[in-house]
Chains A and B, each alone.
Chain A
Amino acid sequence: GAVVSQHPSWVICKSGTSVKIECRSLDFQATTMFWYRQFPKQSLMLMATSNEGSKATYEQGVEKDKFLINHASLTLSTLTVTSAHPEDSSFYICSAKGLTTHTDTQYFGPGTRLTVL
Chain B
Amino acid sequence: GDSVTQMEGPVTLSEEAFLTINCTYTATGYPSLFWYVQYPGEGLQLLLKATKADDKGSNKGFEATYRKETTSFHLEKGSVQVSDSAVYFCALASGGSYIPTFGRGTSLIVHP
Contact = CB atoms under 8 A, between A and B. Distances in A.
Interface string A32-61: 101000000111101001000000000000
A32 B102 CA distance: 19
Contacts of B104: 42-43
B103 A6 contact: no
B59 interface: no
Given A49-B99, A93-B43, A109-B43, A43 B89 contact: yes
A32 B36 CA distance: 19
A103 interface: yes
A105 interface: yes
Q: Looking at chain A, what size class is its interface with the partner chain?
A: 20 to 34
Interface residues of B, number: 21
Interface string B93-109: 10000111011110100
Given A104-B32, A104-B51, A105-B49, A43 B42 contact: no
Given A49-B99, A103-B98, A111 B42 contact: yes
A98 to B, nearest CB: 11
A43 B98 contact: no
Nearest to B10: A41
Interface of B: 32, 34, 36, 41-46, 49, 51, 89, 93, 98-100, 102-105, 107
Given A95-B44, A105-B98, A110-B43, 20 more contacts: A4-B43, A41-B105, A41-B107, A43-B103, A43-B104, A43-B105, A44-B44, A46-B99, A93-B43, A97-B98, A103-B98, A104-B51, A104-B93, A104-B98, A105-B46, A106-B99, A106-B100, A107-B46, A108-B45, A111-B42
18 contacts: A4-B43, A41-B107, A42-B105, A43-B102, A43-B103, A43-B105, A93-B43, A95-B44, A97-B98, A104-B32, A105-B34, A105-B46, A106-B46, A107-B46, A108-B36, A108-B43, A109-B43, A110-B43
